[in-house]
Amino acid sequence: MKYFLIALFISMSAFAQKFDGLAPTPPMGWNSWNTFAVNIDENLVKGVADAMIANGMQKAGYTYIVIDDAWEAKERDSLGNIIPDPLKFPSGLKALGDYLHAKGFKFGIHNCAGTKTCADYPGGRGHEFQDARSYASWGVDYLKYDWCNHGTANAQETYKTMRDALHTAGRPIVFSLCEWGNNQPWLWAEKVGHLWRTTGDIRDCYDCQGVYDIGWKFILDKQDGLEKYAGPDHWNDPDMLEVGNKGLSVAESRAHFTLWCMLAAPLMAGNDVRHMTDETREILTNRDVIAIDQDPLGKQGYRFMDHPSKQIWAKELSNGEWAVCFFNAGSEPLDLRVTWSNLSFLQGAYRIRDVWAKKDLGKTDENFARKIPSHDVVLVRLAPVK
């Protein structure tokens, strides 16, 4: 009996786990939702993949190509299998996965823990193990799992069921929880998924407020204090990028990208990467800014100073380095003056690199002054003087 219980315990614990080690740094890629919403098809996705190779995004680290809501046929097949819309994806999703893999990408997909997705396509509730097998058979590498139409379901139990289904299907799949922070997933999801949304949806504006979505400045404010919950393989997700989308100025796109990197956020581009300006491409592919997001120490940055027009964010990096972001949250240009000794997290002297300007600026023994345009940032990387 004793041995039976031990064996049962071992087999259950082997069962109930996520695939470890799939997201040592925050996942990077592209997602269809912010620009295309339900208007997706296989040619769009292939075109995006080809563009991301040509424009340098793939080389810069954008690996996952994720098709969001509305890839599904409106009904499951007669056996209850979830199937793609035959008009949008006539070659099927296995073929699309093969195309993406052959081009060096990983394949991501969206569905929902409720009975229907937010856009009213079949959801996964009650079909978790069946769907996980379909996803594995199509070569899916990443699942974003939404929370519309969940009824009275319990979030922890529901997401654990899908985690177990993915694990049982046997193909390592990054599991991205998208329950909008409603049930404080940062307190319980580390063992369930690799990333979890912390808020409702982002919108392509600085600080506007929609019915279901808000500008990135408001989303940023909601990240303050969550830094202690993130780390390798378990990231807070402040939602996908709006960089390059029409509601943001270039400064606002640059600041949004920089602050998401300070947050060690997943970097899921949400613009039409087939047609973007050079300025947008330069923001999205800046290796030195991305390196701050992807730093192997895996620490999320935190807000060191908050003031209506001036914020300072700090992110500890490996090898004793720091990234510091000065953010002008106000509507007027800001005359920034920094007395380095006031940044109490620093110890000793550092060499200063202005990351966006790509310039070395001397050492922290000299004070620092800059003008920052409204809604823009100055980002410095500090390396200890040995």
By the criterion CB under 6 A, which residues form the site for ligand GLA? 33, 68-69, 110, 117-119, 146, 178, 201
Cα distances (angstroms) measured from residue 283 to each of 76, 201, 224, 333, 374: 41, 22, 24, 21, 18
Residues 87, 93, 98, 103, Cα dihedral to 10°? 70
- In which residue are the tokens 């192997």 written? 296
Question: Closest CB to ligand GLA among 202 and 262?
Answer: 202
CB of 359 to ligand GLA, least distance (A): 37
Tokens matching residue 42: 């296989």
User: Which residue number, 109 or 324, has a Cβ lying nearer to ligand GLA?
Assistant: 109
Q: Which is nearer to ligand GLA, 23 or 214 (CB)?
A: 214
Q: Which is nearer to ligand GLA, 112 or 261 (CB)?
A: 112
The least CB distance from residue 98 to ligand GLA, in Å, is 24
* Distance, CA of 72 to CA of 295 (rounded, Å): 36
**Of 178 and 323, which has the nearer Cβ to ligand GLA?**
178
Count of CA atoms in the C-beta half-sphere (13 A) of 250: 9
DSSP run (H or E) holding 303: strand 302-305
Give min distance, CB of 68 to ligand GLA, in A.
5
Sheet holding 174-177: strands in order across? 235-237, 195-197, 174-177, 142-146, 106-112, 64-67, 28-31, 267-269
To ligand GLA, the closest distance from the beta carbon of 39 in angstroms equals 12
The nearer residue to ligand GLA, 110 or 254, going by C-beta atoms, is 110
- The whole-angstrom separation of Cα 162 and Cα 151 is 17
Single out the residue of 121, 131, 116 nearest to residue 165, CA to CA: 131
Instruction: Give min distance, CB of 322 to ligand GLA, in A.
Output: 32
Active-site residue numbers? 146, 201
Q: How far is the CB of 366 from ligand GLA (least distance, A)?
A: 45
Task: Give the burial string for 34-45 (b: 16+ CB within 10 Å, else e).
Answer: bbbebebbbebb
- CA-CA distances (angstroms) from residue 86 to 56, 93, 210, 241? 32, 10, 33, 29
Q: Please check whether residue 327 is in contact with residue 349, taking contact to mean a CB–CB distance below 8 angstroms.
A: no
Which of helix, strand or coil describes residue 202? Answer: strand
Pairing, β 106-112 against β 64-67 = parallel
Phi/psi at 246 (5° precision): -65, -25
- Least Cβ distance, residue 208 to ligand GLA (angstroms): 17
Q: Write down the H helix ranges in 170-276.
A: 216-221, 250-262
Please state, in angstroms and rounded to a whole number, the distance separating the CA atoms of residues 175 and 256. 24
Nearer to ligand GLA, 211 or 369 (CB): 211
